[in-house]
Structure 1
Amino acid sequence: MSKKDVSYPIIDLFAGPGGLGEGFSELYNSDNARAFESVVSIERDDFAHQTLLLRHFFKSFPRHRVTEDYYAYLEGRIEKTDLIARNKDNWEHAKKTALKISLGEKTHNEVQNIIKEGLKSSKKWALIGGPPCQAYSLVGRSRMMGSPEFQEDERHFLYKEYLKIIIDHRPPVFVMENVKGLLSAKVNGEFVVDKIVQDLRNPIRAIEKNRNGLRYKLYSLSQAGEVIEEIEPKSFIVKAEEYGVPQARHRMFILGVRADIDVVPGTLEKSKAPSVEQVISSMPKIRSGISRRKDSLDEWKSALLTIDSDSWMPSNRKESHLIKTEIKNALNEIKSSALENQSNVYKAPRVLRSWYYDERLRVTTGHAARSHMVSDLHRYLYASSHATALDISPKLNDFPEELLPAHKNVKEGCEGKMFSDRFRVQIRSRVSTTITSHISKDGHYFIHYDPAQCRSLSVREAARLQTFPDNYHFEGPRTAQYHQVGNAVPPYLAVQIAAIVKDVLDQMPGD
């Protein structure tokens, strides 16, 4: 085995359903073995942990040699208890590496021992994960860094816990991910991100007020060169759509290299991202469901075919005939439709086939449409027709008056003051907007581009836009699945970050 064919351990904190770890585990050496092995992944949310645990089970098998029982479980031919009983050793391995723990003072010693045991004597490894830092902006409202609210806010403590783990284990490399909003958060008039950068450079000084000891050099993944003290923190922003991810997702990624390691990491290489249509058009067509009444195909058709779209479209708008044509085309398709509101038929994607596709997969999981109120079905039909005709999602002031929601902020929305894009269509010819955890609440920001389906995105479609492989199964109820997908790091971006981290570890002296 060559030096560059080593499998490096990773410790994944605040792992969620495993998006960042998935990318690292999908980087392969020349001998077709994984370049990274997740020896410890920690997540406290129950459903996200169940997903993480199942994925660690999947990854416990060699590449392309996953047990047939996994696919039988996805198809519903066997229960999870059967899956576990038939593969006890692999499940035990998953249980040892995917852990449900709430990081904090009470579990610090336990986690310290778990990480130490997982790493064994490894000198070359990486710490990855995104500790919640929202508490900084919350405390900004009180304008007191030393206030009880700041000191007691759990999310602030979790960030400090991340620093303590860095101090305890001295990772040669770490990757910290967080939301873009951190750039604008302030406490006492000072930008929080400056404090975070300072802490990450000098973690011991941040926790123990000791000026000596452990230090890190911080780098941007999108801009070459070491991040020096005066550099703009916005250089840490990575725009996922610039690196082949079909989604406009902008997040902070800070790459830290221990100061005693004389290696300058590379940066991400830009590539064209596929469009929404290219990524999800191979998914079987499904119709929306209807809420607040018995759902059926006939009821769905009835709710839509009674529309008088002529009343929606004022004749003095030059775009009206284009939108009206799309609405009528959709209604004609709906009239002859035999769509169900879910499908497990699996079809290969049109793009990134080697990334998404699994030839052993016989079903699609998570491809079921939400149910919507009839009034929202009408809005979705109009919005997606507008987007198809004009290649832009409508604002509230573009909607016919009779379709405006009965909401107290509608007037302000129509004037462009707030929530003007309450109903947002994912434009077929572009990358999607950011898939967020809000998708778990309603589908208004994530309307499918096809008017004849008249619905929001399914979990599987959202997962594709987040670049999860098609064999990645999300556990828990649908709301929890949406939440997991929305909070994750796109694995296709993560695998590119992993390649940069691997190169740093490869160049480190020693075994």
Structure 2
Amino acid sequence: MSKSVIDLFCGAGGLSEGFRQVGYSVLAGNDIDEAAGKTFDRMHPEARFLSGPIENLSAKQFLSAAGLKKSELDVLIGGPPCQGFSVYNHQRGLHDERSSLYLEYLRIVEGLNPKWVVLENVTGMQSAGNGAAIQAIIKGLEDLGYRVEAKTLKAEEYGIPQERRRILFVGNRLGLPVHWPMPTHGPGLLPFVTVRDAIGDLPELENGGTYEGGKYGSRAKGDFQKYVREGSKGVTNHGAPRLGEINMQRLEHIPQGGSWRDIPFDLLPKGMKRAKRSDHTKRYGRLRWEGLSSTILTKCDIHWGAYIHPEQDRSISVREAARFQSFPDWFEFSGSRTEQYVQVGNAVPPLLGRKIAETIIAIESGEEIPSEPISLSA
């Protein structure tokens, strides 16, 4: 019998997908976002999706949906909404009601009593309230009988083509140690997965264009493209918003690796005419083929970050953002394009979830923690 997972604040289900890739059965999920719920429902047909605010749901409802009794669940996973702690939220802190949703996670932990817990959040938690939320989560889980560790992981060190920092909490009530997956990519290891490795095979798009259900732009090159294309029938969600005329004029001046500082002064947005050259280094950034993607957020807005295609004068598409998050191509996002970007940006990269899941399996079986790179085509 496969091991079981329930996903709280599941969004589209990136963390669930990572656990599923190594054999876990995702039995239930919950989120308040209806569009994300449709995606989760379609992409996790084996799971029961419970819609609405988690405050309105009881642990018994999750157990009923999953067909489990208390203490039978193997892993409870989830990432409470993180805007309250985000470095992009300048009023962040514990006063933000979204910051206290971890208490709902703890409430469900108490009611389910899973063997393992995995909780993900932004690194802004470390500075918000001087790290009070981190200590509160650890203490809350310890009070429920869990041995817990917290660590900031870098997505790019695990074969994900993106600079992304997230804090992970992993714990168990089995008396087992908590270990972390060994990095597989970086200096002295496998080379980082680049922007070209990630999206170089996708068809060209015009500004504001959409390419749905068609063939790829070229044959798969490299392990990452083979991984994302396995089981896919074609390209979906490959559409980008239309940029206005003034933005198109700005893009003409930005080389690969360049930013707003390459735009002639008279074409700059008003606010940026007053900016220091050392400020906002990612704004109007054009990705480099041989570099990493910048952190994928819920809006891939070129005014706020490096979301311009390396060669084509347009912002990156939903599918390109999903590639940078390591979603397989068969994983199709529901809702409007705006809602799709939100789902991709909020997700835990499936390959990061997979590494955590592999490490839990290794700990339970008493094996050494795998330091060899995972085979993406397995």
- Give the alignment's TM-score, normalised by structure 1: 0.64
Name the SS of the counterpart of 1:372 in structure 2: coil
Q: Describe how 1:270-285 pairs up with structure 2 within 5 A.
A: 270-271=184-185, 272-285=191-204
Give the distance between the partners of 2:207 and 2:364, measured in 1 at CA.
49
Residue matched to 1:223: none
Cα gap change, 1:47 to 1:287, in 2 (>3 Å): same
1:357 maps to a residue whose letter is R
Name the SS of the counterpart of 1:437 in structure 2: coil
1:370 aligns with 2:233: no
Residue matched to 2:373: none
Alpha-carbon contact 2:302-2:315 (below 8 Å) kept: no
Name the SS of the counterpart of 2:67 in structure 1: helix
Q: Describe how 1:17-28 pairs up with structure 2 within 5 A.
A: 17-27=12-22
Aligned residues: 358
Shift of 1:382: 1.4
Residue matched to 1:67: none
Q: Describe how 1:116-155 pairs up with structure 2 within 5 A.
A: 118-120=67-69, 123=72, 125-132=74-81, 134-135=83-84, 150=95, 154-155=97-98
Residue matched to 1:355: 227
Shift of 1:411: 3.2
Residue matched to 1:178: 121
1:250 maps to a residue whose letter is R
Moved over 6 A (4+): 136-143, 440-443
Shift of 1:193: 2.4
Q: What is the aligned-residue identity percentage? A: 32
Give the distance between the partners of 2:244 and 2:178, measured in 1 at CA.
55
Name the SS of the counterpart of 2:353 in structure 1: helix
Shift of 1:197: 2.5
Residue matched to 2:376: none
1:485 aligns with 2:347: no
Give the distance between the partners of 2:230 and 2:266, measured in 1 at CA.
46
Residue matched to 2:54: 103
Shift of 1:442: 6.5
Residue matched to 1:192: 133
Alpha-carbon contact 1:437-1:487 (below 8 Å) kept: yes
Give the distance between the partners of 1:132 and 1:52, measured in 2 at CA.
16
Q: Describe how 1:207-218 pairs up with structure 2 within 5 A.
A: 214-218=144-148
2:199 maps to a residue whose letter is I
Runs (5+) with no aligned partner, structure 2: 186-190, 368-378
1:277 maps to a residue whose letter is R
Shift of 1:341: 5.3
Give the distance between the partners of 1:99 and 1:133, measured in 2 at CA.
20
Cα gap change, 1:443 to 1:454, in 2 (>3 Å): farther
1:48 to 14, 36, 48: 36
Residue matched to 1:229: none
Alpha-carbon contact 1:437-1:483 (below 8 Å) kept: yes
1:428 aligns with 2:289: yes
Residue matched to 2:160: 245
Shift of 1:485: 0.5
Name the SS of the counterpart of 1:439 in structure 2: coil
Name the SS of the counterpart of 1:413 in structure 2: coil
Give the distance between the partners of 2:212 and 2:146, measured in 1 at CA.
49
Alpha-carbon contact 1:185-1:193 (below 8 Å) kept: no
Which structure features the higher share of helix residues? Answer: 1
Shift of 1:497: 1.1
1:419 maps to a residue whose letter is H
Q: Describe how 1:205-354 pairs up with structure 2 within 5 A.
A: 214-220=144-150, 236-258=151-173, 260-271=174-185, 272-289=191-208, 342=211, 344-347=213-216, 348-351=219-222, 352-354=224-226
Give the distance between the partners of 1:137 and 1:378, measured in 2 at CA.
32
Give the distance between the partners of 2:280 and 2:29, measured in 1 at CA.
38
Shift of 1:254: 1.1
RMSD over equivalenced CA pairs, Å = 2.9
1:393 aligns with 2:244: no
1:500 maps to a residue whose letter is T
Alpha-carbon contact 2:194-2:289 (below 8 Å) kept: yes
* CA radius of gyration, larger in: 1
Give the distance between the partners of 2:86 and 2:286, measured in 1 at CA.
30
Shift of 1:122: 6.4
Runs (5+) with no aligned partner, structure 1: 1-5, 28-34, 61-93, 203-213, 221-235, 290-339
Alpha-carbon contact 2:194-2:292 (below 8 Å) kept: yes
1:365 maps to a residue whose letter is T
- Give the alignment's TM-score, normalised by structure 2: 0.85
> Could you give the per-residue CA deviations for residues 209-249 of structure 1, whole angstroms, max 9, x where no partner exists?
xxxxx3222235xxxxxxxxxxxxxxx10000011100001
Cα gap change, 1:270 to 1:487, in 2 (>3 Å): same
Alpha-carbon contact 2:63-2:112 (below 8 Å) kept: no
2:57 maps to a residue whose letter is T
Residue matched to 1:403: 267
Residue matched to 1:317: none
Q: Describe how 1:45-84 pairs up with structure 2 within 5 A.
A: 45-57=33-45, 60=46
